[in-house]
Amino acid sequence: MLGCMTTREPQAPQLARLAGLFADETRAACLLALLDGRAWTASELARHAGVAASTLSEHLGKLVAGGLLAEERQGRHRYVRLADARVAQLVEDLAAQVGPGDAVRPRGLRESSAGAAMARGRTCYDHLAGRLGIAVTDGMTAHGLLIQDTGFALTDAGVTWFDSVGIALDRKGRRPLARACLDWTERRPHLAGVAGAALCRHALESGWCVRIGSERAVRVTPTGEQALAALLGIETTALH
């Protein structure tokens, strides 16, 4: 009888370690919170996750060592943020596999309202998501600025549109100009990549959108409603 022969996959240990970093509710809560693209202090994340500062510090150490978070220190404060856009994409993609239908029911009116605000509009690391992100993506597609047939790509008209609106596109890096990111509440792709980040930054800096609460939720302002209607034909009802 032939003995059993095993073949070890060289990436298996690294994949197992990476999966282990996500396999904790506190660490998962931190990663999701950091999808807002900002740097948080350890104490802020501890309050958000509902754990003691000492407990949170241990979790952050594992996430930093695992390459998912980058750490910065300013005086007495320790700040952490997602390491890069690839980590943000991984977190969002995993969240999309869970989806709103599998989520735990909100425990009160405040939590329910926060969830509704996140579904209406939020930042996904550095681009727009939720119904707002989908509306922008659909508007760009309908106006011939973006194609989705064979993956996301800006058209020539799309590149010209960004220039006409005064939104600069950084094409020097390796990051794709346009990329599809699966929206975990809408279960459809929204615009990410250089173009998505530039549009989100412009929306916040121009007052089209404002952040609300301590979560990633954003709200479209009257100025933003007018701009999105004029530039992309987005109806106000699609933003609420």
Task: Give the confidence band of 143 by pLDDT, cuts at 50, 70, 90.
Answer: very high
pLDDT for 109 beyond 50:
no
14-52 pLDDT per residue, tens: 989 999 999 999 999 999 889 888 889 888 899 988 899
Q: Which amino acid is at 131?
A: R
Report whether 219 contacts 228 (CB < 8 A). no
107, with CB counted inside 10 A (0-12, 13-18, 19+), is exposed
Confidence of residue 111 (pLDDT cuts 50, 70, 90): very low
Number of Cβ within 10 Å of residue 146's Cβ equals 22
pLDDT at 60: 93
In this prediction, residue 94 has a pLDDT band, given cuts at 50, 70 and 90, of: confident
The whole-number pLDDT of residue 99 equals 58
Number of Cβ atoms within 10 Å of the Cβ of 144:
12
What's the pLDDT score for residue 98? Answer: 72
Q: What residues does 220 pair with on adjacent strands?
A: 209
Domains, the chain, ranges and CATH? 14-83 (1.10.10.10), 87-99+108-239 (no CATH)
Query: Does the structure show a pLDDT above 80 at 173?
Result: no
Residue 101 phi, psi dihedral angles, 5° rounding: -70, -20
Q: H or E stretch including 160?
A: helix 156-165
Q: Quick: pLDDT tens for 124-137.
A: 888 999 999 999 99
The identity of residue 23, as a single letter, is A
